[in-house]
Structure 1
Amino acid sequence: MSHRRALALGALTASLCLPSTAFGIDEVNSKKLRDAVTVNGILQHERAFQGIANANGGTRASGTPGYDASVAYAKQRLQKAGYKVTEQSFDFAFFRELGPASLSQVSPTAKDYETETFEYSGSGTVTAKLQEVKDNLVPPTPEPSSTAGCEAADFAGFTTGNVALIQRGGCDFGVKVDNAAAAGAKAVIIFNEGQPGRTGLMAGTLGAPKTLPTVGLTYDDGSALALQLRGGADVTVEVTTSTESETRQTKNLLADTKAGNADQTVVVGAHLDSVIEGPGINDNGSGSATILEIAEAMSEQKVKPRRAVRFAFWGAEESGLLGSEHYVTTLPAEKLTQIYANLNFDMVGSPNYVRFVYDGDGSDTPVAGPPGSGEIESVFTRYFAGQGLASEPTEFSGRSDYGPFIAVGIPAGGLFTGAEGIKTPEQAAIFGGTAGLAYDPCYHQACDTMNNLNVNALNEMSDAAAHATLTLATSKTGLFPDGSRKAARDKSKAKRFDGNHASD
């Protein structure tokens, strides 16, 4: 799950209640498929992903051999199951920190600072004089108002070869660094702005690979350096970063059923990549293994879908949903209109889990999905209710690969068992687990291994995912009231009547 998108969980309305929708998809008996989708099968795929990570530096991140091996594994399984498999390659901005950053004042007073590397920072060691740019506001205003470094004019009089000291605020960090590079800076220090909530150690993303080493500082440390300079001190600093930051190629893996109406394709997706820091066995080996198991089970059961199903394994989700965004934005208009719905499964095995369902109709959270999303939500909640299991709505927060689909009006839905959010006492009473702890304490860490999975979560969520996939693929009624077979027949009769009338 991408860490770049803010998470805002919906209202805590966990219950067995069904969301109100004006139209319901007809029930589909999914028992045979659910019986064929097993936890053992999912864990088989997860063990393969773990082995791949172990053999490739502990990661399966896009742009690394571990990701390429994950693609090869899923591709081989899907081809063996009889799917038409294609790869969709694209370039993306790859970043990896090879070692921690360091920042120290060399003179007039030796001092080491706590610091962090900005994502997409350049790499190297720079020892040079420190220089403020214009519009650093020390002390800060009551409300955020700094625009330091946002314009080339902020670097008027800047001495080539110096290290730029820039306050947060007013524009993207990447803009500040680009302006610093154009002014001849050799490294950049960005310190926090100083208002409540904007005082701690500064870190962030530069948006794309940069050449200048770029590190962060707290407001207190940054403002102290600024005051030193304003007092006439000649300050020399040493900045060190160790990074890889470059454009690399990665890919999406797409597997299509041979049967089904391609004009109403159901895209069932999960991101295949991990973060650099770990193997990503829950995030998102769990989602990838689940849809891979569903795809194989559908083939084994010889399911003949009414609508075509495309299983999509997205690349570079952890870099900002780049795989799904590339897929959606590069589809020709006529192909885009053929996408019937998107199902998204990102983290479905969290150890301290909640059965979260995306709130398609927006009845419990601030953001509703496009029309049809409420009906997809109902498929999940009705299923859980029928199993005697509670579920809880979670909003479309933009943190996963459904984002590009709902941005162009495609109905979407899916499941989630929780990331770094903290389980409440109310949730613990309903779903079990431990209140006060994260849903996934190993989120985006090296400990996201096979030991980080809850098999009960995998069992319950994979059955729900299989049920929803089969329902959207085979239901006679569609997401909307005019989607049934009967309505289609009535429409056909009306056309014939109109034609006969015209010939009278």
Structure 2
Amino acid sequence: MEILSRMRRTAAVLGLCAALVAVPAAAAAEPAAPKTPRTPGIPVVTTEQVMPHLRALQSIADRTGGNRAHGTKGFQQSLAYVKGVLDKAGFRTGLRPFTHNGVVGHNLIADWPGGDPDHVVLVGAHLDSVEAGPGMNDNGSGSAAVLATAVAMSRAGVAPKRHLRFAWWGAEEQGLIGSKDYVRKLSAAGREKIDVYLNFDMTGSRNVQQWLVVHDDPRATDAFEAYFAAKGLPTFDIGIGGSDHESFGDAGIPVSGFNTGVGDCLHDACDRIDNVDPETETLSTNAILGVTWQLATR
């Protein structure tokens, strides 16, 4: 998470809200059967399909000095891992270079073939960590959830009406550098083609009280709220500021998405894989998958 002060304020709000609304212990798990009928065609991601991506990112950090920050081997190997998975899944991938603090960084863009190129659903997360630690919840969790979503759509052979694009940003912890660079380099027509940008930052927090949903694009916001409501999970609405979606919202591109709140290990060495709750991460991944599928195919 890049803007620490804003997230601390969000944490304070959550502390007040937690006294009013608490998630039952069993609610954080993906239920054996959904409470409402699942839309035909939308696949389901299991814990075994998302957590291996987090384990891979943790392993990369462990063997490259303990973090995955901009300009490090940890980030470069994280980028190579995600790109490799996407290439095997049939996506058209490309690296978009930028320079920050004299060091070349990259955004990874992955396009799924098909869909109307004039109407794009863009789904993203930042891939880098801070230098203090491996960044498994911030934001290995969001990166893994978006990656598992992309793979699930590939396996299901999704045939989108809108064009479907996924992105992993670099140097976001340095000041939203990667996402700003991507937006800045879009032409006016290119910006108009993005119907909505969905952002996911810290999707596997332990002891989650509420899912913090970005309220901007009405259709996406309503879809996320409906998903969590159907499972009896409380939400809290947040605005455009505070994470990667800010770069898009500031440019007039509709945004939505969610996070699961700030934990004690934010930007710390203890943000390791055991700082991510597998059940929360799985539920979040299926929320991303379900809403993205709806927005892309209807």
Q: Is this a same-fold pair by TM over 0.5? A: yes
* Mapped contact 1:307–1:474 kept (Cα < 8 A): yes
Report the 3-state secondary structure (helix = DSSP H, G, I; strand = E; otherwise coil) of the residue aligned with 1:273.
Answer: coil
Report the 3-state secondary structure (helix = DSSP H, G, I; strand = E; otherwise coil) of the residue aligned with 2:232.
Answer: coil
**Residue of structure 1 in register with 2:245 after alignment:** 402
**Gapped runs of 5+ residues in structure 1?**
17-26, 94-246, 361-368, 420-439, 476-504
Pair 1:294-2:117 in alignment: no
Distance, in Å, in 1 between the alignment partners of 2:214 and 2:266 is 23
Distance, in Å, in 1 between the alignment partners of 2:236 and 2:242 is 18
**Cα separation, partners in 2 of 1:330 and 1:5, compared to 1, 3 Å:** farther
Percent identity between matched residues is 40
**Residue of structure 1 in register with 2:54 after alignment:** 46
**Residue of structure 1 in register with 2:31 after alignment:** none
More helix by share: 2
- 2:270 pairs with 442, 447, 470, which one? 447
Distance, in Å, in 1 between the alignment partners of 2:73 and 2:50 is 22
**Residue of structure 2 in register with 1:104 after alignment:** none
Distance, in Å, in 2 between the alignment partners of 1:70 and 1:28 is 36
- 2:164 pairs with 266, 285, 309, which one? 309
**Residue of structure 1 in register with 2:194 after alignment:** 339
- 1:279 pairs with 134, 140, 154, which one? 134
Report the 3-state secondary structure (helix = DSSP H, G, I; strand = E; otherwise coil) of the residue aligned with 1:249.
Answer: strand
* Mapped contact 1:2–1:317 kept (Cα < 8 A): yes
Pair 1:418-2:261 in alignment: yes
The number of aligned residues is 279
Distance, in Å, in 1 between the alignment partners of 2:280 and 2:253 is 28
* Mapped contact 2:162–2:296 kept (Cα < 8 A): yes
* Mapped contact 1:357–1:380 kept (Cα < 8 A): no
Pair 1:33-2:42 in alignment: yes
Distance, in Å, in 1 between the alignment partners of 2:47 and 2:190 is 35
Report the 3-state secondary structure (helix = DSSP H, G, I; strand = E; otherwise coil) of the residue aligned with 1:58.
Answer: coil
TM-score (norm 2): 0.88
**Gapped runs of 5+ residues in structure 2?**
24-35
* Mapped contact 2:43–2:156 kept (Cα < 8 A): no
* Mapped contact 1:357–1:381 kept (Cα < 8 A): no
Report the 3-state secondary structure (helix = DSSP H, G, I; strand = E; otherwise coil) of the residue aligned with 2:6.
Answer: coil
**Cα separation, partners in 2 of 1:5 and 1:404, compared to 1, 3 Å:** farther
Q: Report the CA distance between 1:63 and its aligned residue.
A: 0.7
Distance, in Å, in 2 between the alignment partners of 1:4 and 1:350 is 16
Report the 3-state secondary structure (helix = DSSP H, G, I; strand = E; otherwise coil) of the residue aligned with 1:285.
Answer: helix
* Mapped contact 1:253–1:314 kept (Cα < 8 A): yes
**Cα separation, partners in 2 of 1:30 and 1:80, compared to 1, 3 Å:** farther
Q: Report the CA distance between 1:34 and its aligned residue.
A: 4.2
Pair 1:86-2:94 in alignment: yes
* Mapped contact 1:28–1:474 kept (Cα < 8 A): no
Distance, in Å, in 2 between the alignment partners of 1:282 and 1:31 is 31
- 1:460 pairs with 258, 280, 283, which one? 283
* Mapped contact 1:14–1:392 kept (Cα < 8 A): no
Q: Report the CA distance between 1:40 and its aligned residue.
A: 1.4
Pair 1:380-2:221 in alignment: no
Report the 3-state secondary structure (helix = DSSP H, G, I; strand = E; otherwise coil) of the residue aligned with 2:151.
Answer: helix
- 2:183 pairs with 328, 353, 368, which one? 328
**One-letter amino acid of the counterpart of residue 89, structure 1:** P
**One-letter amino acid of the counterpart of residue 392, structure 1:** F
Q: Report the CA distance between 1:29 and its aligned residue.
A: 4.8
| 1:99-498 alignment runs, 5 A limit | 247-360=102-215, 369=216, 373-396=217-240, 398-419=241-262, 440-475=263-298
**One-letter amino acid of the counterpart of residue 59, structure 2:** G
RMSD after superposition: 2.1
Q: Report the CA distance between 1:14 and its aligned residue.
A: 5.7
